[in-house]
Amino acid sequence: MTKYFNKKMQKFFLFFAHVHFFLYLCAQISANMNIEFAKEGITRARVLIERANHIVITTHMAPDGDAMGSTLALFHWLSEICGKESVQVIVPNAFPAFFNWMPGAENILIYEKEQAKCNALTEEADLFVCTDFNDPKRIGPIGEKLIASSAPKILIDHHLHPMDFADSVFSFPQTSSACEIVYRFIRSMDSGINLPVATCIYTGLMTDTGNFSFNSNSCELYEIIADLLRAGIQKDAIYDAVFNQYSTDRVRLTGYALYRKMRIFPEYHLSLITLSADELDQYHYQVGDTEGLVNMPLQISNVYYSVFMREERPKPGTPKPRIRVSFRSQGDRPVNIWASEVFHGGGHANASGGELFGRLDQAVQLFEKTFPKYIKKEGK
């Protein structure tokens, strides 16, 4: 009897051990993403860089921390470590003032403000390095210059389905950020990093993961951070510079938006915040003041989807206001299809954006009409 029992127990433990080991392997596979750059890809990019004398680095409209970090890290690497003499970062439009402290930010050209200078530089360029976007449409009018140019292009990005416009593509949608790929790109070239490169890379890792609260499960990410710390980054100071330097108006605008303007649709676990151009004026809105606002309703336990709409006054030549729409979600609840099919945008499954030209109330009507199609009703 005891013998029989022991055998049964042995079998049970063996089975349990196998299941446990399988689960452990699964966890290891998801924690180690195994991002390997093909040798030929790196060799080709190296040749393109070696041959280039006039390099333009560019990124998407409304640059965020990852866009700023990835372009500026490459700027420092190419000029200070690779010794390139003419390297210029051009961004399509203004970036938030809370990135002014970033090393090299003072050298960035903003296309919207200095078109002639930017056009001359893009015409002269013999290499473009593009980061953090998958479609030339995402970089506004520079996109047309980019496509028209015969100069080679390197793309470093983490969005799904990159368009076929670059000669050398490093696209890894499973990574945390474009900055992570820039880091891996530099290291794959057996190259070193300096403090400005490391600081810029850390900024993108931090902002694109919500200070390591999403897309940040890979242990390799923390190995990269350890390397950046060894290079001398002041991690806590970078957090402080980005997240603790807001104006009073910005914080009050956030309070107003959450208190007065947030609507919850409990059956759909959905939140909507809208801010009109008049409301933004009341709080002396500056570029970047609503950055991160769309994530806040997700702090509510039963809210899994959040949408934020911001009205921009019509620009000269465009009769209608532009409604900028941001989408966020948690878990297996994609919002990118909704963003692309209804709001002319797209993005990641859990973080997307789009736009609409029209009145804010029309955008809200469209939202109300379409969310039941794109959001599945769930229990509590």
Binding site for ligand 5GP (CB under 6 A): 138, 159, 326, 345-348, 351-355
* Closer residue to ligand 5GP, CB minimum distance, 84 or 328: 328
3-state class (DSSP) for residue 126: coil
Residue showing the smallest CB distance to ligand 5GP in the complex: 353
Whole-number minimum distance, CB 11 to ligand 5GP, in Å? Answer: 50
Q: Which of Mn ion, ligand 5GP, none is residue 354 near (CB under 5 to 8 Å by kind)?
A: ligand 5GP
Contacts of 188 (CB under 8 A, 6+ apart): 37, 42
Binding interface with Mn ion (CB under 5 A): 66, 132, 177-178, 208
Burial of residue 44 (CB within 10 Å: 0-12, 13-18, 19+) is: middle
Beta-carbon count within 10 A of 130 CB:
29
* Closer residue to ligand 5GP, CB minimum distance, 163 or 277: 163
8-state DSSP, 315: P
Give me 133's structure tokens. 């976007």
First to last CA, the chain: 49
Alpha carbon distance 139, 311 (integer Å): 20
> What DSSP string runs through 32-62?
-------HHHHHHHHHHHHH-SEEEEE--SS
* Closer residue to ligand 5GP, CB minimum distance, 215 or 218: 215
Give me 336's structure tokens. 């990118």
Burial of residue 129 (CB within 10 Å: 0-12, 13-18, 19+) is: buried
Asked whether 102 and 198 are in contact (CB, 8 A), the reply is no
Q: Which of Mn ion, ligand 5GP, none is residue 352 near (CB under 5 to 8 Å by kind)?
A: ligand 5GP
Of 257, 281, 282, 283, the C-alpha closest to 271 is: 257
Alpha carbon distance 132, 139 (integer Å): 10
* Closer residue to Mn ion, CB minimum distance, 199 or 215: 215
Q: Which of Mn ion, ligand 5GP, none is residue 348 near (CB under 5 to 8 Å by kind)?
A: ligand 5GP
Whole-number minimum distance, CB 351 to ligand 5GP, in Å? Answer: 4
Q: Which of Mn ion, ligand 5GP, none is residue 96 near (CB under 5 to 8 Å by kind)?
A: none
Whole-number minimum distance, CB 287 to Mn ion, in Å? Answer: 18
- CA 78 and chain centroid, separation: 22
- What's phi and psi for 142, nearest 5 deg? -65, -30
Residue showing the smallest CB distance to Mn ion in the complex: 66
Q: Which of ligand 5GP, Mn ion, none is residue 353 near (CB under 5 to 8 Å by kind)?
A: ligand 5GP
- How many residues does this entry show for the chain? 380
Asked whether 157 and 134 are in contact (CB, 8 A), the reply is yes
Q: Which of ligand 5GP, Mn ion, none is residue 269 near (CB under 5 to 8 Å by kind)?
A: none
* Closer residue to ligand 5GP, CB minimum distance, 84 or 138: 138
Q: Which of ligand 5GP, Mn ion, none is residue 143 near (CB under 5 to 8 Å by kind)?
A: none
Whole-number minimum distance, CB 66 to ligand 5GP, in Å? Answer: 8
Whole-number minimum distance, CB 139 to ligand 5GP, in Å? Answer: 11
Whole-number minimum distance, CB 105 to ligand 5GP, in Å? Answer: 19
Whole-number minimum distance, CB 328 to ligand 5GP, in Å? Answer: 7
* Closer residue to ligand 5GP, CB minimum distance, 201 or 325: 325
* Closer residue to Mn ion, CB minimum distance, 186 or 206: 206
* Closer residue to Mn ion, CB minimum distance, 228 or 275: 228
Q: Which of Mn ion, ligand 5GP, none is residue 74 near (CB under 5 to 8 Å by kind)?
A: none
Alpha carbon distance 290, 324 (integer Å): 11
